[in-house]
Structure 1
Amino acid sequence: MKMNKWLRTVIISCATALTFGIGFGLSSQSNQVEAAAATYKTVSTASMKKAPYHKKSSAGVVWNTSHTKKVATLKGYPYTTWYATKKVTLQKSGGSKALYYQVKNGSGNVSGIVWHNYLTPGKAPFGLKYAQGAVALDVNTNGVVWSKNANTPRPIASISKLMTLYLVRQKISNGGGSWTSKVNTSNAGLKKLGKDKDYGGFKFTKNSYTVRDLYLAALIESSNNAAIALGQWVAGGATPTYNKKFISMMNSQAKTWNLDNTSFVSASGMEQDSLKPFGYNIGGANANMVSAADVAQIARHFINDYNDVLKDASIGSMTLDGQKLYNYNNLLPGRKYYQKSLNVDGLKTGYTPLAGYCFVGTGRKAGHDRIITVVLHDQNEFTETRSLMNYVYNKNLV
C-alpha cells in the first residue's frame, strides 16, 4: 500500500530527529536554543544613546540578535561593561513582549541582545576574573591599594624563590659569602632534577657554580635545582639535611616580617610530591602556602633592601655555562604583553598545576610611586596584571 506523501515525510522527519537525539545525545542547551529560535520574533527596534551597563546579578544570557543562539553568559563576564546602542522588543509566540538591549563589550568582540532587567546602568566595577588571590601594593607607603582575597594562603609555586634569593643576598650582606663563593652542586638528586623534562631548566654540568651563577639561574630561568643548592649553601652545607634547615630559615624570616599567612616547605616552590623522586621532600604539608598580601611584602623587602634585583629581573634572556636562561615575564620589553608606560622591570613568575599561574609584577609609571602586584592561581596572569596596574595608575591610587 502506498503511503501518503505528507505522512511519509512526517514519519521520516520524526525518525531522523529520534535517531539524532539517541545517537548524539542532544543537550538541554541545544533544545533551548531550538525552542528559542522557534518562539521569538522581533516586534520593533529603536536606536538609543550609547550607554554603559553591567550585570545586575549572576543571571542572564547574551543572545544573538535573532534570539536563536547563546553568545555568552553574563556570569562569565563579571567585570565587563556592556555598551547599549539599541532597544529591541521581542515577543514570544502566544506570550507577552519583552524589552532587550543590543549591547557590545568594550573590545567589541562580544555582542548581542540582553533582556534589560539583567542589566544595571553604569560601568562595571573593576575586578580580576581569573585570579583567586591578588593585591596591588604601593612600595613607597606600603599601602594596599587594591585586593582580592589577599589574606588567603595559597600555593605559590616558583614565586617562593623570592624568599630563597632574598636570604642569599642577606647572607652576602652579613659577610657570610660573596657572589664568587662556590656552591656545591654535586648532589645526584639535584643533577637529576636539572635534567627533568618537567622541573628542570638549568643542568648542573659541573660540581660547583658561583653564587652569582645560581642566583641568575634561579631568578631568570626559575631553576629549581639552582634554588635548592643556594638554600643549602645559605644553611651551611650541601645535603638534603641542610635543605630542611634552610626551609626553617625561610619560615623564621617570614615570622620576623610578621607574615601570618605564610608557610614554607620548599626552597624552590615545587610541591612535596614532585620533590620526592629527587630526595628533597621534607614531609608535612605538600606546598608552600602564602597569601597574596604576604607575597607582596616579601617582594617589597627584596626591592627595598637589594634594589639591583630589578636590573637582573628585567634581563630577557642570557647564556650561562653554555645554556640559555629565559625570562618568562611577558610584560618585559619586546614581549607579548609589554606596555611601555607601565615600565615593568620585574619580578617573578611561577606555575604548577596545583598553584596555577602566579606572577609578581613591579614597575613605576612616570609621576607615580612604584607598585607591586601579585596574582595567584590565575589563568591570564599577564593580562590581568596589566589591567590591575593600569587601574591603579588611572585611578591615581599610587
Structure 2
Amino acid sequence: MRAFLLLGAAVLGLATSAQAFDTNAKAAWVYDVQTGTVLMEKNAEASIPPASMSKLMTLYMLFEAIEEGRVQLDTQLPVSTRARQMGGSTMFLNELDRPTVEQLIKGIIVLSGNDACVVVAEGLAGTEEAFARQMTERGREIGLENSSFRNATGWPNPEHRMSAEDLGRLARLLVEKFPQYYQYFGLAEYRFDDRAPANRFNRNPLLRLGIGADGLKTGHTQEAGYGLVGSAKQDDRRVIFVISGLDTEDARAEEAERITQWAFRQFTMRNLVPAGETVVDAPVWLGTANTVGLTTQNGVNVLVPAGAQDQVDVQVIYDSPLPAPIAKGDKLGELVVTIPGTRDTVTPLVATADVPEAGFLGRLKGAVMQLGQRAIDAVTG
C-alpha cells in the first residue's frame, strides 16, 4: 500500500509575485545551485541556436583534457590557416603564433575568439569536425539531451543547437567540476600579445556591477539574437541563468541584471528538514523491528517565493509496510515539496537503521497479525 503522509500544507492560492515574473527573452532558465531549484523557465527545453554560448562546451572539453593530462596550461598549440581565417570575434592569431592553452582559455572566454576555438579543436581532435562530433557524444554522456554540435565556435549552422536548460546544466558542471579554472570566467579584460587594445573587454555586462557576477559567456548571431549564460554568488547562494533571443545588447544587459536581482531578492531560504532528523517511522513487514526511521541524507532546504511562506506542501511517500530485510541507507521513499511557482523538490528518504528479516516465529506472528488486521478491516469497512 502506498503511504502518503502530509507533513505540512496550506491551500495553494493565486499566483505569487514569483510566478508573475516574466522575461523578455525568448528562452530562459534560472537555477539556484544550493537547493537545486529551478526558479523560472521559459521554452527551456527547446533546441535553439546557442551562438557563442556553445563555446562553453569547447571549454568543458578543454578542461577535461587538462585534467586527463593530455595537455597542460603551458602547452603550446599551432595555429592553422583555417583558424586564422575565422571571421567574427577573434583573438587575432596568425600562423606564426604558438599560444598556450591558458592563453587560449582567456581568449575564448574574454574575447570570444573563434580562431582560438578552432586552435583548441584541431589541437585536441585533429579537425574541428571531429571535435564537434566528440562534443556531441560527450554532451550526451553528461546529460545534455537537447544539444548537437557542428563546430567549436557556435558559428551559425542549422544543426548546431542547444537548449537553455542544457546551457544552464553545462554551466553548473563548469562551476562545480572545474573550480580551479572557473576563475577565468570572471576576467574583465584580456589582450593577447598587446594586440587590438580596444578589443580586450569581456562582453559579460554583469561583471562590473558589483552584484557577485563571475561568469560565464555571452552569445550573439542574427538568428539567435543576444544571449547570456550568467552566474552570480551572494553569500552562500549561487544562481545560474540562461537568457536568449533578446533584440539588442542593451536589452541583454538589462534583462540579465533584472533576473539576477530577482533571483536573489525574491526568494528566502527555509530549512524544512535538518540533516539527520527522522522524518517518519515507517511500519516494517516481517522484520526484527516493527518500524524503521526514514531520513534524508543532507536535510532539505528550499527556496520559498516572497508571499508564499504559508503555501508550502510537504508529502512523505513510501510503500507501507516496508518488507524486511532493510539495510541502513536503503532508499525507501521520497519527500516531495510543492511550492507555487517552482518545480517540485523531490528528496530521497533512506533507512536510519538495519532491520533484519524476522525468524520463523517472528514471520508466523506477523502473518497472523496481518490476517487479523485484514479481518478487522473487512468488518469495519
Q: 2:24 aligns with which of 108, 126, 130?
A: 130
Where does residue 329 of structure 1 map in the other structure?
A: 204
Inter-partner Cα distance in structure 1 for 2:228 and 2:135:
20
- CA-CA distance at 1:206 after TM superposition: 2.4
Show the counterpart of 2:44. Answer: 150
Q: Following the alignment from structure 1 to structure 2, what is the Cα–Cα distance between the partners of residues 308 and 356?
A: 31
Q: How far, CA to CA, are the matches of 1:287 and 1:356 in structure 2?
A: 17
**Structure 1 residues 125, 351: CA separation in 2 closer, same or farther (over 3 Å shift)?**
same
Cα distance, 1:166 vs. partner?
A: 0.9
2:134 equivalent in structure 1: 249
Indicate how the Cα distance of structure 1 residues 254 and 123 shifts in structure 2: closer, same or farther if over 3 A, else same: closer
TM-score normalized with structure 2 length: 0.61
| Partner SS, residue 119 of structure 2 | helix
Residue in 2 aligned with 1:369?
237
**How far 1:287 moved relative to its partner?**
4.7
Q: 1:234 and 1:199 mapped to 2: Cα distance?
A: 21
CA separation of 1:206 and 1:256: change in aligned 2, threshold 3 A: same
- 2:255 counterpart residue number: 384
Structure 1 distance, partners of 2:50, 2:105, is 19
- The partner residue of 2:119 within 226, 229, 251 is 229
Within 5 Å, give how 1:122-201 maps onto structure 2.
126-185=20-79, 187-193=80-86, 196=87, 198-201=88-91
Residue 359 of structure 1: aligned partner: 228
Q: 1:146 to 1:123 in 2, by over 3 A?
A: closer
Does residue 350 of the first structure (1) align with residue 219 of the second (2)? yes
Report if the CA contact (8 A) 1:215-1:230 is conserved. no
| Shift in Å, 1:316 | 1.1
In the alignment, residue 170 of structure 1 is paired with which amino acid?
Answer: E
TM superposition outliers: structure 1 runs of 4+ over 6 Å = none
Aligned partners of 1:201 and 1:223 also within 8 Å: yes
State the match for 1:396 in structure 2. Answer: 267
Structure 1 spans left out of the alignment, 5+ residues = 1-121, 273-285
1:267 aligned to 140, 152, 167, which one? Answer: 152
Counterpart position of 2:102: 212
Aligned residues: 249
Please list every run of 5 or more consecutive structure 2 residues that lacks an aligned counterpart in the other structure: 1-15, 269-302, 304-381
Structure 1 residues 350 and 141: CA distance shift in structure 2, 3 A = same
Measure, in 1, the Cα distance between the counterparts of 2:256 and 2:22.
Answer: 9
Offset from partner CA, 1:168-207 (integer Å, 9 cap, x none)? 010110111101112110x2222122xx4x4434332624
| TM-score, length basis structure 1 | 0.59
Structure of larger gyration radius:
1
Does the CA contact (< 8 Å) of 1:134 and 1:149 recur in 2? yes
State the Cα RMSD in Å.
Answer: 2.2
1:75-123 per-residue CA deviation (whole Å, 9 max, x = no partner) reads: xxxxxxxxxxxxxxxxxxxxxxxxxxxxxxxxxxxxxxxxxxxxxxx97
Q: Residue 293 in 1 paired to residue 165 in 2?
A: yes
Seen in structure 2, the aligned counterparts of structure 1 residues 310 and 176 have a Cα distance that, compared at 3 Å, is closer
Q: Is the 8 A contact 1:202 1:217 kept in 2?
A: no
